[in-house]
A and B are shown apart, each in its own frame.
Chain A
Amino acid sequence: MSVLARSVGNAFRNKIRTSAVVAVLAVAIGLALSMLVANQAVGSKVQELNASVGTVLTVNPAGGQGFEGGGEPLTTAESATAAAVPNVVSVVGTKALRLENESATSTSSTGTTSQQGGPGGGPGGGTSVTTSLKAAIDAGTLGNRNNTNSNSGAAGGSGTGNSGAAPTFSLPITATGIGAEVDTSGKALNITSGTGLGDYTAASTKALLGTTLADKNGLKVGSTFTIAGKTFTVAGIFDAGTTFGNNAVYTTLAEAQALASTPGELSSMVVTVNSMDNVDAAKTALQSALGSDKADVTQGQRNLETAVSSLDSVKNISLVAFIAALGTAGLIILLIMVMLVRERRREIGVLKAIGARNRTIGLQFVLEALVLVALGSVVGAAIAAFASGSIASALISSNSTTSASNQRGPGGGGFGGGFGGGGAFGGASQLLTSVTASASPSTIAIGVAAVFAVAVVGALVPALLTARIRPIEVLRGE
């Protein structure tokens, strides 16, 4: 008979009570573990999001975005200014071109660059040039509606005549000159075959094509096509993940600037900030460095940020619930052990009368508490394994109802903005549901360790109470 054996024996002395205590403990421990699992799952998702898209700012010319709006274009000099702003990790300039298929623009002189509205004129920033490529997207209802809109906008500009092209209208292709191997939202390009463009700041007749655009035109790595009459070689094919994103061409920044005959001009800048926490401060600093009359700084992935903050609140809720459930487990242990110590005062007195040290008796009670907690943990872990998935998704769905309404806000912009917002919204809701809470053994182990730590603390108080019991009490049946 050792201290441990005695503790185990004592834990089972009253089987009905032991079962009741274990059941209550199991609920508390199961809840604690579920919350921990949810917390870890959401936490890693938040980290993943922060690491990828949450830290990107987009700078557009004041009053313009994509091919719409007006104002002064951004310049390479301004990208240097932006790079000097604190917390900014990188600045990637882009130059967007609108490519129109040669056959669709046959009414205008083939092979010449047609400036669609200069700075200060109608739609600014965008430049239309011809190409041998055919768009991978059919115009459809949306396209035709957008085309009408853009033509009415173009009417306000210099009006170089492609407005008569409506019957043969096909969607334009976006060609973007990029200063690094990232897309216009700052995400690294996923090149599925071929290679990148190497030095993105030098002029080069190599280009990257989206998968669907390449398929539509029957192009492979090494194939050639033309932009503004100039022959380009396909260096690589990328997959942007969306149909819209894959109907695009990337060239080096310098090449796009040359094609548009606007050296040093940028359509937008993609600014990456070092951490999610600094994004707001960097945005303000960037805006004042560039001047609010010159540039608009927007958080391209605002909706994702909303998603992240809603996930963050889920994370906080689950953490609080974990601590609360843990505290409850500790409290249960504390109360049970106080009760047991009171009940066994006489026995404790006897043990002391025959020479047991205080620490021997204290240890016996702590071990007895741990036996109860061990049983509670086994049942609790089983509960958590079954319940944590549904608890996590219940937490997230109740929270994303509020975040979804927020997400619709920035989605209402123009052509580019609308698509971007919609795509990102889809991504955000997808990531909310993709948080899968799986009870990994290591998480459960951490949780159980925490439960045991709390139980030791909870059992220590009553165990220390035993030290105050005087052996003489046993002689008088008090």
Chain B
Amino acid sequence: MIEVKDLVRQFKTGDRTIKPVNGVSFELEKGTLASIVGKSGSGKSTLLSLLGALDKPTSGDVVVDGVSLAGLPDGKLTEYRRRDIGFVFQQFNLIPNLSAIDNVMLPMEFAGMRKGARLERARTLLEQVQLDPEKHSRRINRLSGGEQQRVAIARALGNEPKLILADEPTGNLDEQTGDHIIELLSSLSRDHNTTILVVTHDRTLAQKTDRRFRLQQGQLTEEAVRPRVVAGA
């Protein structure tokens, strides 16, 4: 359960102040698959980094399972990122001189998982995102954009996070592979009760999520409630 309370993030550029996130409040139940849409530069990535404790809000708070992020010291925030969050960056942010599988194993290593276990899990995850087995040990900078994107998704799933924050996870993928990734994410929310928040420009992807938000002028508005439930009824 995630509660976002009146979140504000402002940036000062020269003598201008912009507020891409300006008073955002919402709640997400456990196991929800949600999406955020919005124009380029509307503040989607900014909002996601606040939820993932990569950045600190100017004001407001994020409460995860009753724990307020605003009150946590840096060490605890690192632990929160390591254990509770799976973050898929818009620019992937993989370590270029490591292989695909080594990148996927990194968060597991930080979490103290044994070497054999992390190797096995990393393989499984890379298979789940449909990366060719022969490319598992290939260095990141020798993979295509779409391949890198899938490695980034696999890395985010390593520690079985309770919240996955994915910034345009299908932006570089063909339709078929993109659909597969969406299927993977929705099965995680269904079967593992993982809460997932996806930023996307892709309307069809957004259609498949439980809840759809739009970010506009710093404000978050919900478009329609539970389309899947409505469609199934």
Point out residues on A near B: beta carbons under 8 Å: 1-3, 6, 9-10, 13, 346-347, 350-358, 360, 470-472, 474-475, 477
- The CA-CA distance from A477 to B111 in the complex, in Å, is 27
Cβ contact of A354, chosen from B45, B90, B110, cutoff 8 A: B110
- The CA-CA distance from A314 to B33 in the complex, in Å, is 77
Binary CB contact string for chain B from 74 to 93 against chain A (1 if under 8 A, 0 otherwise): 01001101110101011101
Interface check B218, CB cutoff 8 A: no
Interchain nearest-CB distance for A466 vs B (Å): 13
**CB <8 Å contact, A1 and B54:** no
Interchain nearest-CB distance for A92 vs B (Å): 73
Given A355-B78, A355-B111: A1 and B83 interface contact (C-beta under 8 Å): no
Q: Which chain B residues lie closer than 8 Å to A1 at the CB level? A: 98, 102, 105-106, 109
**CB <8 Å contact, B78 and A357:** yes
**CB <8 Å contact, B155 and A354:** yes
- The CA-CA distance from A470 to B90 in the complex, in Å, is 18
- The CA-CA distance from A474 to B159 in the complex, in Å, is 21
**CB <8 Å contact, A10 and B97:** yes
**CB <8 Å contact, B110 and A472:** no
What are 14 A-B contacts with C-beta separation under 8 Å? Answer: A2-B109, A9-B98, A346-B93, A347-B95, A353-B52, A353-B87, A354-B82, A355-B85, A355-B110, A357-B75, A357-B78, A471-B81, A475-B49, A477-B91
Interchain nearest-CB distance for B23 vs A (Å): 21
Interface check B43, CB cutoff 8 A: no
**CB <8 Å contact, B54 and A472:** yes
Q: Which chain A residues lie closer than 8 Å to B83 at the CB level? A: 355
Interchain nearest-CB distance for B17 vs A (Å): 17
Given A475-B45, A475-B89: A355 and B79 interface contact (C-beta under 8 Å): yes
Cβ contact of B78, chosen from A3, A352, A475, cutoff 8 A: A352
Interface check B55, CB cutoff 8 A: yes
**CB <8 Å contact, A356 and B110:** yes
Cβ contact of B81, chosen from A2, A10, A347, A354, cutoff 8 A: A354
- The CA-CA distance from A2 to B110 in the complex, in Å, is 10
- The CA-CA distance from A407 to B102 in the complex, in Å, is 70
- The CA-CA distance from A477 to B89 in the complex, in Å, is 13
- The CA-CA distance from A471 to B93 in the complex, in Å, is 11
Q: Which chain B residues lie closer than 8 Å to A358 at the CB level? A: 78
**CB <8 Å contact, B110 and A353:** no
Interchain nearest-CB distance for B148 vs A (Å): 13
Q: Which chain B residues lie closer than 8 Å to A6 at the CB level? A: 98
- The CA-CA distance from A13 to B45 in the complex, in Å, is 31
Interchain nearest-CB distance for B125 vs A (Å): 14
- The CA-CA distance from A353 to B51 in the complex, in Å, is 12
Known pairs A353-B81, A355-B111. 12 more at Cβ < 8 A? A1-B106, A1-B109, A350-B93, A351-B95, A352-B81, A353-B89, A355-B110, A356-B78, A357-B78, A472-B49, A475-B45, A475-B55
